[in-house]
Structure 1
Amino acid sequence: MHIVPQDDRFASADQITVDDLIAIAGAGYRSIVCNRPDGEGGADQPTSQDIRAAAQKLGLQFAYLPVKPGQITADAAARFAQLLEDLPGPVLAYCRSGNRATSLYQLASSPAIAQAASATTVVPACDWEGAPYDIVVIGGGLAGITVVSSLLRRQSNLNIAIVEPNDHHDYQPAWTLVGGGAFDVKKTRRPMASVIPQGARWIRASVTRVEPHNNLVRLDNGETVAYRDLIVTPGLRLAWERVKGLTDTLGMNGVTSNYRYELAPYTWQLVQQMKGGTALFTQPPMPIKCAGAPQKAMYLACDHWRRSGVLSKIKVEFDLAGPVLFGVATFVPPLMEYVKRYNANLVFTSNLVAIDGPAHIATFETKSADGTVTRVEKHFDMIHVVPPQLPPDFIRDSQLADEAGWCEVDHATLQHPRYPNVFSLGDVCSAPNAKTGAAARKQAVIVAENLLAARAGQPLAYRYDGYGSCPLTVERGKVVLAEFGYGGKLLPTFPLDPTRPRRLMWFLKATLLPRFYWWGMLKGREWLAGPSRH
């Protein structure tokens, strides 16, 4: 038995036995809900009546609300919500793996989702068993959800499953704004169930292995999912552990990062509290998601200190592992103007390798022109850390990986060169574009078109040009909108000088794009994302 508390009043669990009930009662639970149909698992599964009788002897309330795998309806969610109202808490609900119980609770806790769901809508099911899906998508981030929406808009009868372990979906581009005091972090997170496209199934599990030669995906719950076509979009892994001591001090001792939901508000807290001292900002080796995010954190902090009249009392330093401020040379001059305005010190080829939070010491490895590596310790009062970023282990160790560990694709078609029924997009794919949400949005259309063409035995007619977009927030109220493709080629959407900081682009970044993200991108609306043919 594995109990997962969801809040003070509710927890979910995998299959319990009569013998578990004494420990459950001892833990303070007052009610039990069974969400697993009797007879689902064979003779080793205790019946709901057995659990009910034993629970009542211990003074526990019991309710039986069975739901089949992959068939949680709005009616079931409403009945579950009523049970939570009627039963004394805390309540423990269980099923085979705990996922159905958790999904019911999430739907019951979100009336808008429950109301929107139809009586036949399939929602999160990790314990699916059956024939191969037409398409399996690994990852429920922007890339995964958007490509599924695009596919279903083109061919609504596709049988698609999304494998995603998280119960929430984040709008990560706004975390930089949160760290600058310009956005509410709560508006960046929604339940995963609310963004799963209607008609797709959500398998709530983590992938442990991909077997492209067998058309199988293995999950952390011991199950396998078979596919005819596979789309790989799990994103990348934030390797916090690669900086010694970092995980022990994150969110404390002046150590923060806009790369985590719960830490972005701490960044803003530190910025507000800073009246003098040393502020360090770091950038690890490339590739990373949103290459401009590390310096955007610095610009917004400096702008606040400038407006507050304390910037002259703060030593600002930006330590970059690479040799340049930004990868597209066209945008370096306007960015350098802001570096000078904020009197920030740029230190190139300086990579953060360790942090002692209580002592407020950061250790960097610097490399000289002749390749000599030296370790330098620096004191800080505040440090904004961007973690090293790597391919997920199950991709790095699979036959899908290139030499660097990323999911290998043709840079134009986004099809795997050795497994033609595999496509990839987003941060995990090997295409040498900037890893941004705007890139994934463009890539989703390419993959949707090309995958359907491949399924129909037709040539892959659409090509990705490497488009990516990085709205560089150089101050509160102004943004340099950097849009570019392969080789640093400028690909501006608007007929304006792209190097000029503009209030219009701030409005786009802070107001329009968040709304379009939830109601446009994730819904498969392809405004200004049309693909180009070969």
Structure 2
Amino acid sequence: MRSRTSSSDAAVSEAAATRHQILIIGAGAAGLAVASSLRARDATLDIGLIDPADAHYYQPGWTLVGAGVFEPKSTVRSMASLIPRGVHWIKQAVTIFSPQSNRVVLADGRVVGYEQLIVCPGLKLDWSAIKGLNETLGAHGVTSNYRYDLAPYTWKLVQELKQGKALFTQPPMPIKCAGAPQKALYLSCDHWLKTGRQAQVKTQFFNAGAVLFGVADYVPALMKYIDKYAVDLNFNHTLIEVDGPAKKATFARKLADGSTETLLCDFDMLHVVPPQVAPDFIRASPLVDAAGWVDVDPGTLQHRAFANIHALGDVTNTSNAKTAAAARKQAPVVAHNVLTALGRSTDLAHYDGYGSCPLTVERGKIVLAEFTYGGKLAPSFAHWLLDGRKPTRLAWWLKERILPPLYWRCMLKGREWLARPTLVAGSVAK
């Protein structure tokens, strides 16, 4: 790690061409939310936001696009329309971090300095890690709700499949929204059941893990749907190769003795979730742990080695679920703690690991999983109103009608409804 630091610093010129009091890397859900939370606390802050993208996507909506509930265009807006007023948008990519000199280098060679750095570029969907996948995505029955352009193809395939084999995969953890692979499975099966095709479509779920869902309290409700849809569950199976034209998928199956064997399966439809890693420029930086994720304190989200760096969202090594709901709770924590680092407060905000996964078990019903670090249940509503361990129509209504405007109009605008951070006396580490 230290060798990376010195090599990065050597690549940075002595004087930064631009400098901001607070510099944010990444304008996804986490980046826009933390920028807005900072502005809501102090509109005089000098904030730079680095991101090369032209569009911003509401990714939690893609599951419903893949089920014919949402139109794709409802999940995308221009980035320019979402950058908070007063925030300087730097439309570039970062290539080098120099934390010891408080600078980053951009792809066009410019150097940007900072007093406080916030890192939240999301993660990388590693499609190329599965042999043959890139060559066949979007054709030959191979799809994924993890891409904006492919989610409509999922719905097309579900509607057109009259009989045959439908395979759904889940890669090794960590991944963005661990419930999303199952959401595609359940909503597809629900359509086939309601259109009288369940008996003609043999459905299999191949999970690289050993359990259906990481928080045991929600498994009984999910298993009822696995049985209802007659899904063949296959644990410890990792997709390693796809031959689209031949419609064959190869899995590595982990055996009890630790060895592996390969399994070749035919398919008519294949919904793939790719392995996921931190972005390349993050993994090559001095900010990461041994696994390649940004190394932060799980409570304060402050970097363990560099006191003026915080991180949030999918790129961190915290053990929470990587969801938009987690970023919604993390953004106010980071915003407060950055201001504490600037001497504006003596209190620290703490993140409890909250994450939420609305598991769409059928069209019109959801198992609303909400939990904190260690899998502790953390319901937002009283159990008499909404028991997340059971499928409810109220949870579906929240997912379909409430969460999208909550995302666009509250989370990305610095309005912290149900997201106010918990403060404790203390000070940011020096």
Give the letter aligned to residue 511 of structure 1: R
- Distance (Å, rounded) in 1 between the aligned partners of 2:274 and 2:60: 16
The match for 1:154 among 41, 52, 55 is: 41
**Superimposed CA distance per residue, residues 310-338 of structure 1 (whole angstroms, 9 cap, x where no aligned partner):** 01101100000000000001001100000
Q: State TM-score, norm by structure 2.
A: 0.93
Q: Does 1:281 align with 2:168?
A: yes
**Displacement, 1:403?**
1.1
3-state SS of paired residue (1:494)? coil
Query: Could you tell me which residue of structure 1 aligns to residue 154 of structure 2?
Result: 267
**Displacement, 1:132?**
1.2
3-state SS of paired residue (1:132)? strand
**Displacement, 1:533?**
2.1
3-state SS of paired residue (1:520)? helix
- Distance (Å, rounded) in 1 between the aligned partners of 2:252 and 2:327: 33
The match for 2:396 among 506, 511, 516 is: 506
For residues 409-428 of structure 1, the aligned pairs below 5 Å read 409-428=296-315
Give the letter aligned to residue 520 of structure 1: C
- Distance (Å, rounded) in 1 between the aligned partners of 2:261 and 2:68: 36
3-state SS of paired residue (1:302)? helix
**Displacement, 1:131?**
4.0
Query: Could you tell me which residue of structure 2 aligns to residue 448 of structure 1?
Result: 335
Query: Could you tell me which residue of structure 2 aligns to residue 137 of structure 1?
Result: 24
- Distance (Å, rounded) in 1 between the aligned partners of 2:199 and 2:127: 32
**Displacement, 1:465?**
0.4
Query: Could you tell me which residue of structure 1 aligns to residue 278 of structure 2?
Result: 391
Q: Tell me which of the two structures has the higher relative contact order, counting C-alpha pairs closer than 8 angstroms and 6 or more residues apart.
A: 2
**Displacement, 1:409?**
0.5
Query: Could you tell me which residue of structure 1 aligns to residue 428 of structure 2?
Result: none
**Displacement, 1:498?**
1.6
Q: What is the CA RMSD across the aligned residues, in angstroms?
A: 0.9
Aligned identity (percent) is 57
Q: Does 1:360 align with 2:247?
A: yes
- Distance (Å, rounded) in 1 between the aligned partners of 2:294 and 2:164: 43
Contact 2:119-2:312 at 8 Å conserved across structures: yes
The match for 1:339 among 226, 235, 243 is: 226
**Superimposed CA distance per residue, residues 250-283 of structure 1 (whole angstroms, 9 cap, x where no aligned partner):** 0000000000000000000000001000000000
Q: Cα–Cα, structure 1 residues 130 and 222, in superposed 2: closer, same or farther, change >3 Å?
A: closer
Contact 2:17-2:110 at 8 Å conserved across structures: no
Q: Does 1:215 align with 2:105?
A: no
**Displacement, 1:480?**
0.7
The match for 2:141 among 235, 241, 254 is: 254
- Distance (Å, rounded) in 2 between the aligned partners of 1:529 and 1:458: 19
Query: Could you tell me which residue of structure 2 aligns to residue 115 of structure 1?
Result: none
Query: Could you tell me which residue of structure 2 aligns to residue 327 of structure 1?
Result: 214
Contact 1:282-1:386 at 8 Å conserved across structures: yes
**Displacement, 1:511?**
1.1
3-state SS of paired residue (1:134)? strand
Query: Could you tell me which residue of structure 1 aligns to residue 320 of structure 2?
Result: 433
Structure 2 unaligned regions, length at least 5: 1-15, 425-430
- Distance (Å, rounded) in 1 between the aligned partners of 2:328 and 2:231: 34
Contact 2:18-2:111 at 8 Å conserved across structures: no
Between structure 1 and structure 2, the one with the greater Rg is 1
**Displacement, 1:459?**
3.9
Deviates more, 1:199-208 or 1:275-284: 199-208
**Displacement, 1:532?**
1.2
The match for 1:406 among 293, 301, 305 is: 293
- Distance (Å, rounded) in 2 between the aligned partners of 1:390 and 1:429: 11
Query: Could you tell me which residue of structure 2 aligns to residue 533 of structure 1?
Result: 423
Give the letter aligned to residue 263 of structure 1: L
Query: Could you tell me which residue of structure 1 aligns to residue 364 of structure 2?
Result: 477
Query: Could you tell me which residue of structure 1 aligns to residue 188 of structure 2?
Result: 301
Q: State TM-score, norm by structure 1.
A: 0.75
Contact 1:413-1:460 at 8 Å conserved across structures: no
**Displacement, 1:458?**
4.6
Query: Could you tell me which residue of structure 1 aligns to residue 237 of structure 2?
Result: 350
Tell me the matched-pair count: 406
- Distance (Å, rounded) in 2 between the aligned partners of 1:311 and 1:504: 26
The match for 1:175 among 62, 68, 91 is: 62
Contact 1:233-1:425 at 8 Å conserved across structures: yes
Q: Does 1:489 align with 2:350?
A: no
Query: Could you tell me which residue of structure 1 aligns to residue 71 of structure 2?
Result: 184
- Distance (Å, rounded) in 1 between the aligned partners of 2:105 and 2:243: 39
**Superimposed CA distance per residue, residues 341-366 of structure 1 (whole angstroms, 9 cap, x where no aligned partner):** 00001100000000000000000000
The match for 1:199 among 68, 74, 86 is: 86
Q: Does 1:369 align with 2:259?
A: no
- Distance (Å, rounded) in 2 between the aligned partners of 1:427 and 1:433: 9
- Distance (Å, rounded) in 1 between the aligned partners of 2:96 and 2:63: 33
Q: Cα–Cα, structure 1 residues 405 and 232, in superposed 2: closer, same or farther, change >3 Å?
A: same
Give the letter aligned to residue 212 of structure 2: L
Q: Cα–Cα, structure 1 residues 460 and 236, in superposed 2: closer, same or farther, change >3 Å?
A: farther
Contact 1:454-1:460 at 8 Å conserved across structures: no
The match for 1:239 among 118, 121, 126 is: 126
Deviates more, 1:209-218 or 1:174-183: 209-218
Structure 1 unaligned regions, length at least 5: 1-128
Q: Cα–Cα, structure 1 residues 219 and 131, in superposed 2: closer, same or farther, change >3 Å?
A: closer
The match for 2:265 among 372, 378, 386 is: 378
**Superimposed CA distance per residue, residues 35-75 of structure 1 (whole angstroms, 9 cap, x where no aligned partner):** xxxxxxxxxxxxxxxxxxxxxxxxxxxxxxxxxxxxxxxxx
**Displacement, 1:515?**
1.3
- Distance (Å, rounded) in 2 between the aligned partners of 1:131 and 1:359: 53
Give the letter aligned to residue 198 of structure 1: R
Query: Could you tell me which residue of structure 2 aligns to residue 466 of structure 1?
Result: 353
